[in-house]
Structure 1
Amino acid sequence: MAQQVRGVVARGKGEPVSVETVLVPDPGPGEAVVKVQACGVCHTDLHYREGGINDEFPFLLGHEAAGVVESVGEGVTEVAPGDFVILNWRAVCGQCRACRRGRPWYCFNTHNATQKMTLADGTELSPALGIGAFAEKTLVAAGQCTKVDPAASPAAAGLLGCGVMAGLGAALNTGNVGRGDSVAVIGCGGVGGAALMGAHLAGAARIIAVDVDDRKLETARKLGATHTVNSRATDPVEAIRELTGGNGADVVIEAVGRPETYQQAFYARDLAGTVVLVGVPTPEMRLELPLLDVFGRGGALKSSWYGDCLPSRDFPMLIDLYLQGRLDLDAFVTETIPLDGVEEAFARMHHGDVLRSVVVF
């Protein structure tokens, strides 16, 4: 029998979100119902509200979440009722060409719940990233639930569900930052801040944070940056080169998603260095680079999908580091808010006032 819960719904492009009654069906085969304990407010949710992802309104927003499995459907063995889990939007299939080649973090056929959650009048909801966790309970594919140590704070743990994992993984997985490397991160919001923390965790010797906002640069120092550059006042390419002996950084992580900042990243890396694009561009953006420069500088130009993470591998490991005091996930939780505070949180996020607002149930 379907349960009635409260959830944050975006009904139309650019319209303020509303808290509405959502019907959550019992889990079917391969599905799970999760009682959500906390969910971060991510830029992706705002993109959904603005119609920047697709136009499949109404959306049930929220995806950076942690909670407790309430019930599971037929055939589910990976999680059980009572498990504390982080929700993820990369439930790997195990069967696609990437999975069969032993690279499940590139899975090309990730899956979501088959059934739909609905409004009280029966209107089907599109859950953000297949999750829809700005709700007291949500229905997901069981593979979207990753069991972790329940000692972790739900508000901090849930952030691994998207932005923080994207940044950490951009450094640790995609960028393969190593001990003694020099790293520059362009754009120091939640994702870029996590990339700084990932570079620090990996043992980078010089970590350069670049942003136009001095508030973010101040926070960047706390997240692991050894140097900061305000690119509104200083040419970031020249500054990064100057801080790396005139060579450029071994790894440059672009966490903005704009052609201008990508070009900065490209020219701020050392010869044979690596550029990692983790910022998400919009469809109309175009990039132009001299092909001879692409050839002549060598190295690698990479895109980072979800930090190239494998939730079953990375989430438990990162939570263990968090509980050991070696990974300060709490630093990303700027504020906790109620379910009806999401619209105001979007405004604070847009103005750069927070790393993350987190809805706590």
Structure 2
Amino acid sequence: MPHEVRGVVATGNGKPVSLATILVPDPGPGEALVKVLACGVCHTDLHYREGGISDDFPFLLGHEASGMVEAVGSGVTDIAPGDFVILNWRAVCGSCRACLRGRPQYCFATHNATQKMTLADGTPLSPALGIGAFAEKTLVAAGQCTKVDPAASPAAAGLLGCGVMAGLGAAVNTGAVSRGDSVAVIGCGGVGNAAIAGARLVGATTIIAVDVDERKLEWARGFGATHTVNAKEADPVEAIRQLTGGNGADVVIDAVGRPETFKQAFYARDLAGTAVLVGVPTPEMTLELPLLDVFGRGGALKSSWYGDCLPSRDFPLLISLYLQGRFDLDAFVTETIGLDGVEAAFAKMHHGDVLRSVVVL
């Protein structure tokens, strides 16, 4: 019998979201029913509302979530009712070419629930990133549930489901930052500050935060930035070079995702350094670079998908570090809200007033 719950739905391009009654099926084979405890308000949800990802309306928004498993379908053995889990959108298939090469963090065929959640009138919903967690309960593929220590705060833990993992992973996994490295991060919202926190966690000695907003630069200092650059007042490329002995940083992370910021990342790195793109561009953006500069500066230009994370490996580790007091996930939670506060949270996000608003159920 379907479960009748409340959820936040985007019904059309640019329209304000609304609370609606959602019907959530019992889990079928390979699926899990999860009681959502908390879910962060991520820029990706706003992109869905604006039609920037697809036009498959209506969307059930929310994906950066933690919760408690209520029921599982047949064939599910890795999780059980009562488990505290972080939801992820990389449920690896185990059989695609990436998985078979031993690179499951690049899985090209990640799993989602087969059954559809619907509105009360039977209209099928498209869950954001295959999750749809701005709801009291949601249905996901069992592989989208990563079991972690239940001592963790649900509001903080859920942020590993997207933004914090994307930023931290861009530094640690994609950029391979290690002890003694110099790192610059362009854009100090939630993702950028997670990259800064990750760089500090693995022992980078020079961590340069770049933004145009002094509030965000102050946040960056709290997460471990050793230097800050206000791009309204100084050329970021020259400032980063000056702070790294005239050489440029070993790793530069673009957490904005615009051609101009990626060019800054490209030229602000040391010879043979690495530039990492983790900010998400829009479809019309293009990049032009002199090919001789690409050749002559060497190094690597990388894009980071979900922080190149493997949830089964990374989520429990980071929760362990959080519970030991070595990784401050709580600092990313600016405010907690109810399901009826999502639209206002989008406005705060747009104006840069929050790192994360988190819906707590």
Task: Give the TM bin, normalised by the shorter chain.
Answer: over 0.9
Length, aligned pairs only: 361
Query: How far, CA to CA, are the matches of 1:94 and 1:231 in structure 2?
Result: 44
Query: How far, CA to CA, are the matches of 1:133 and 1:111 in structure 2?
Result: 16
Q: CA deviation at 1:179?
A: 0.3
Which residues of 2 match residues 61-210 of structure 1 at below 5 A? 61-210=61-210
Q: CA deviation at 1:241?
A: 0.1
| Counterpart code for 2:124 | E
Query: How far, CA to CA, are the matches of 2:210 and 2:16 in structure 1?
Result: 32
Instruction: Name the SS for the 1:9 alignment partner.
Output: strand
Q: TM-score, normalised to structure 1's length? A: 1.00
Residue 284 of structure 1 is matched in structure 2 by 284
Residue 221 of structure 2 is matched in structure 1 by 221
Q: CA deviation at 1:274?
A: 0.3
Q: CA deviation at 1:347?
A: 0.2
- Deviations 1:35-69 (Å, cap 9, x if unpaired)? 00000000000000000000000000000000000
Q: CA deviation at 1:336?
A: 0.1
| Counterpart code for 2:70 | E
Residue 254 of structure 1 is matched in structure 2 by 254
Query: How far, CA to CA, are the matches of 1:111 and 1:277 in structure 2?
Result: 25
Query: How far, CA to CA, are the matches of 2:145 and 2:265 in structure 1?
Result: 35
| Counterpart code for 1:49 | R
Gaps of at least 5 residues in structure 1 are none
Residue 57 of structure 2 is matched in structure 1 by 57
| Counterpart code for 1:38 | A
Instruction: Name the SS for the 1:7 alignment partner.
Output: strand
| Counterpart code for 1:277 | L
- Deviations 1:142-196 (Å, cap 9, x if unpaired)? 0000000000000000000000000000011000001000000000000000000
1:36 matched to 2:36: yes
Residue 237 of structure 2 is matched in structure 1 by 237
Instruction: Name the SS for the 1:139 alignment partner.
Output: strand
Q: CA deviation at 1:300?
A: 0.5
Q: CA deviation at 1:111?
A: 1.2
Instruction: Name the SS for the 1:239 alignment partner.
Output: helix
Query: How far, CA to CA, are the matches of 2:109 and 2:120 in structure 1?
Result: 31
Instruction: Name the SS for the 1:53 alignment partner.
Output: coil
Query: How far, CA to CA, are the matches of 2:65 and 2:315 in structure 1?
Result: 12
Instruction: Name the SS for the 2:26 alignment partner.
Output: coil
| Counterpart code for 2:333 | V
Residue 295 of structure 1 is matched in structure 2 by 295
Query: How far, CA to CA, are the matches of 1:333 and 1:131 in structure 2?
Result: 21
Q: TM-score, normalised to structure 2's length? A: 1.00
Residue 337 of structure 1 is matched in structure 2 by 337
| Counterpart code for 2:212 | V
| Counterpart code for 1:184 | A
Query: How far, CA to CA, are the matches of 2:128 and 2:232 in structure 1?
Result: 34
Q: CA deviation at 1:18?
A: 0.3
| Counterpart code for 1:87 | L
Q: CA deviation at 1:232?
A: 1.0
Query: How far, CA to CA, are the matches of 2:219 and 2:291 in structure 1?
Result: 37
1:348 matched to 2:348: yes
Query: How far, CA to CA, are the matches of 1:319 and 1:3 in structure 2?
Result: 30
Query: How far, CA to CA, are the matches of 2:207 and 2:183 in structure 1?
Result: 5
Query: How far, CA to CA, are the matches of 1:339 and 1:207 in structure 2?
Result: 36
| Counterpart code for 1:243 | L
Cα RMSD (Å): 0.3
Q: CA deviation at 1:25?
A: 0.2
Residue 325 of structure 2 is matched in structure 1 by 325
Residue 4 of structure 2 is matched in structure 1 by 4
| Counterpart code for 2:67 | G
Query: How far, CA to CA, are the matches of 1:309 and 1:265 in structure 2?
Result: 22
Q: CA deviation at 1:310?
A: 0.1
| Counterpart code for 2:227 | H
Query: How far, CA to CA, are the matches of 1:120 and 1:310 in structure 2?
Result: 35
Query: How far, CA to CA, are the matches of 1:331 and 1:64 in structure 2?
Result: 16
| Counterpart code for 2:150 | P
Q: CA deviation at 1:233?
A: 1.1
Instruction: Name the SS for the 2:19 alignment partner.
Output: strand
Instruction: Name the SS for the 1:352 alignment partner.
Output: coil
Query: How far, CA to CA, are the matches of 1:304 and 1:29 in structure 2?
Result: 32
Query: How far, CA to CA, are the matches of 1:81 and 1:297 in structure 2?
Result: 53
- Deviations 1:171-230 (Å, cap 9, x if unpaired)? 110000010000000000000000000000010000000000000000100001000000
